[in-house]
Chain A
Amino acid sequence: MKYLPAFLIGISVTFCYSSCMYLFSALLLTWENELSISRNNLTFIYSLGLVVHSLLLPILGKFVDKNLSFSMMWVSPILLGLSVIYLSLANTYTEFLVAWILVSATSGGCLYTMLFSVITINLKSKAKTSIAIITLFAGFASTYTFPTATYLTEQYDWRFTVFIFGILNILISSPANYFGFKNIILKKFKKIEKKTDQNSKIKIILKDFRFWLFSFSLFVIGFNIGAITTHVIPMLQEKGMSLSQAVLTASLFGPGQVIGRILVMIYGGDKSNLKLFVICFYSMVVGMIFLYFININHYLAFLFVLFNSSAYGSMAILKPLVQNDTFGQKKLWQYSWYFSFTIYDW
C-alpha cells in the first residue's frame, strides 16, 4: 500500500499527542483534587514543559541533519512512554514537575515538528500527501483522549489511566514509527548546507513590520489554543455543562480540525493563503463569541468547536504557506532560537 507508512506514522503521532498534550487537559481537575497541586502550579509546569520542548527543537534538528532521524523516530516514543509511566508514580509537586518536563522533552522527537522535517527531507514532492494523511489521523487525538481518560479514571484511577497511555506509546507509537519510517528514510543522505548570508536575512526580516504582525497573530492564536485546550473541561463546567457534556465537546476538537483542513483543501485551492489565514483568524474570534455565551445555550458549544477548531486545523496547514509567501523562507525557525520561539509551532 502506497501510503501505509503515512498511516502508521499517523497512528503513532496520535498516541504521542494524546500523552503529551490532551492527557494533561483531561486530567487537570483530577490532579488538582488528588495531588493537591493548585491549577496555577499545574499549568505553570505545563508551560515550563513547552519551554523545554522548544529549546530542544534546534538540537533535535541537528540529529536530523546528521541522518540520525530513524533512531530518533522510534526511540523517542519509547522515552515518552517511560516518562508517562514515571508520571503515573508522581506524588509530590517536585515529582510531578520532573515527570512532566521529561514528558515534554521526550515528546520533541516524535511530534509534528520533527516528523514533518524528516518526511519533507526524505519524501520531497510526495511529502504533502503523507503530511495530510498524518494530520487527518492525529486530528482525532482529542476525540480518543478525553473520553478514554475520563472513562478509565472513573473506573479505576488517574494513575492507571496515565500508565495505560504510557504503555500505548511504547507498544504502538514506537513500532508504528519504526515500520513507518523504515522505508522512507533515505540511506544516502545529502547534507544541507547552511547559507552564509543568514545574518543579513534575519536582519531584513526583523525590520519588516509584517514579521511582527505575523508573530503577534501567531501569539494570539497560540495563546488561545494553549489556554483553551488546557482549561477546556473546567471552563465548560464553569459555563454550567456537566462533565460528560464537557468531555463530549472537548472530544470534538479533533473532528473540527479535520473539517477545517478538508474545507481548505476543497475550497482553498484558488484563493490567497493570506486571505484564507485571515478568514480563519476571524472564524476563531467568532468561535470565542460562541464560547462566551455557552452558559445561555449549551448547544452553542458545537458552534464554538466548529468555528474555533476548524480555524485552528486550517491555520496549521496555512501557516507555513503564508510564512513562505511573505518571507520566502520555508524553515525560518532553523535560523535561530528566536524564530523557533516566535514563529514556529504557534
Chain B
Amino acid sequence: MIGSIAGPWIGSLVWNVGGYDLLIFVFFVLAIFGNVTAIFLNKKKFI
C-alpha cells in the first residue's frame, strides 16, 4: 500500500525534477536494488 500511496505524489515530484523519463528510471533503480538484495541474501543463506 505504501507504494501505491507514494507513487502518484512522488511521481509528480520526480516529474518536476527530470520529467517522466526520470520516473521510469527510478522504477528501474528500485527493481535492480530489490533483485541485487535478493541475490545477496540468497547467497548468504539468509533466505
Residue A189 interfacial (CB < 8 Å): no
- Please report the C-alpha to C-alpha distance between residue A44 and residue B16 in the assembled complex, in whole angstroms: 13
- Please report the C-alpha to C-alpha distance between residue A226 and residue B3 in the assembled complex, in whole angstroms: 7
- Contact residues, B14-37 vs A (CB, 8 A): 15-16, 19-21, 23-24, 27-28, 30-31, 34, 37
Q: Say what secondary structure dominates the interface of chain B.
A: helix
Given A213-B34, A340-B1, are A226 and B27 also a contact pair (CB < 8 Å)?
Answer: no
Residue A238 interfacial (CB < 8 Å): yes
Partner-contacting stretch, out of A80-88, A227-235, A251-259? A227-235
User: What is the count of residue pairs linking A and B with beta-carbon distances less than 8 angstroms?
Assistant: 120
Are B1 and A43 interface neighbours, CB within 8 A?
A: no
Residue A221 interfacial (CB < 8 Å): yes
Chain A residues closer than 8 Å to B37, beta-carbon distance: 213, 216
Chain B residues closer than 8 Å to A116, beta-carbon distance: none
Are A224 and B15 interface neighbours, CB within 8 A?
A: no
Chain A contact patch, size range:
35 or more
Q: What's the nearest-Cβ distance from chain B to residue A96, in Å?
A: 15
Are B3 and A221 interface neighbours, CB within 8 A?
A: yes
Chain A residues closer than 8 Å to B27, beta-carbon distance: 220, 223-224, 227, 288
Are A39 and B7 interface neighbours, CB within 8 A?
A: no
- Contact residues, A319-337 vs B (CB, 8 A): none
Chain B residues closer than 8 Å to A44, beta-carbon distance: 9, 12
Are A238 and B8 interface neighbours, CB within 8 A?
A: no
- Contact residues, A12-57 vs B (CB, 8 A): 39-40, 42-44, 46-47, 50-51, 54
Chain B residues closer than 8 Å to A227, beta-carbon distance: 7-8, 10-11, 23, 27
- Please report the C-alpha to C-alpha distance between residue A291 and residue B26 in the assembled complex, in whole angstroms: 13
Are A222 and B1 interface neighbours, CB within 8 A?
A: yes
Chain A residues closer than 8 Å to B2, beta-carbon distance: 219, 222, 341-342
Are A226 and B24 interface neighbours, CB within 8 A?
A: no
Are B4 and A226 interface neighbours, CB within 8 A?
A: yes
Are B41 and A342 interface neighbours, CB within 8 A?
A: no
Are A220 and B12 interface neighbours, CB within 8 A?
A: no
Closest to A281 in B: B31
Are B13 and A40 interface neighbours, CB within 8 A?
A: yes
Residue A157 interfacial (CB < 8 Å): no
Are B9 and A223 interface neighbours, CB within 8 A?
A: no
Chain A residues closer than 8 Å to B15, beta-carbon distance: 39, 231
Please report A residues at the B interface, Cβ cutoff 8 Å.
39-40, 42-44, 46-47, 50-51, 54, 209-210, 213, 216-231, 234-235, 238-239, 281, 285, 288, 291-292, 340-346
Please report B residues at the A interface, Cβ cutoff 8 Å.
1-13, 15-16, 19-21, 23-24, 27-28, 30-31, 34, 37-38, 41, 46-47
